Amino acid sequence: MNHAKALAIVTAYDMYLECAERKHNPQWSLKYPVGFHRFREKLAIQMLHYDPRKRLYKGDEKFRVSTQQNQAQRRRSSPARSHSSSTSTSSGVGEDEYSVHSERTTRLCGFLDNLIEHSDSVKRLPGNNGRVCVVCGGKTSMCCGKCGKAMHASPPDTVDTKTSCFLHYHNTGFFGLARDDCRIVHRLQRNWTFPTLHDRKLNSSQMKDIDKQHRANKQPQIDNENADNGGEDSSVNTEN
């Protein structure tokens, strides 16, 4: 066991020297790399401060401090059992749990963090007159504080929908259908009517195609920018 530990330390030091000598990334270069003995001391200090209950490395669950935990604590701190991932949430959800429930339930509809931030910013407008809703054109006293737009926080009575104007406005599939979007699509507001369910579904399907095409067109630009911002080696090769 001691021989295996010594081999591991020597191998780790060789990896450290490869990184320090700019063999992998020029930004990692060190002018004065530490010696082997100093490197071993730094490793020892790191391990003295490390807590196996963090489950950052394989084998941490075998330590006595980990086996003393109850089942609930182990689930919260243990990584997912899948070989492809070693992460889990503080509540104990790993890749295995996510995969099973994402296929069997309709609850997981994507990450709505941004929508929740907008929902938390909804507030009542000052005064008693109200304003015109940017979605349906009716009077409302509520607004989205993050967008600065007046809109119904609940389904309006004047149009055929069970969904609030707030959700319609923040739905990418509804983009271009709101009353306030007339200026974007170059239409007259006096000729605008609230879209039917068929119109909403059709627009949502078409917006998904546009979003897919936008992402496809954007990816080559990102790849070109990464190539243009290459390291010193790439510039040398270009000159040669």
pTM (two decimals)? 0.58
**pLDDT of 108:** 84
Please tell me the predicted confidence (pLDDT) of residue 72. 67
Q: What is the pLDDT of residue 78?
A: 60
Q: Domain limits of the chain?
A: 1-61+75-80, 113-214
So what's the pLDDT on residue 79? Answer: 57
Q: List average pLDDT for each run of 10 residues in the chain, which is 240 residues long.
A: 91 88 73 88 86 81 82 61 54 72 76 94 89 95 95 91 95 95 93 94 95 86 64 44
pLDDT of residue 158: 86
Of 80, 82, 106, residue with least CA distance to 93: 80
Please tell me the predicted confidence (pLDDT) of residue 75. Answer: 61
| Tokens 């084998």 found at | 59
Q: Which residues, in sequence order, are CB contacts of 85 under 8 Å at separation 6+?
A: 79, 94, 95
Amino acid 82: pLDDT: 40
CA 197 to chain centre: 31
For 37, the enclosing helix (H) or strand (E) is: helix 36-49
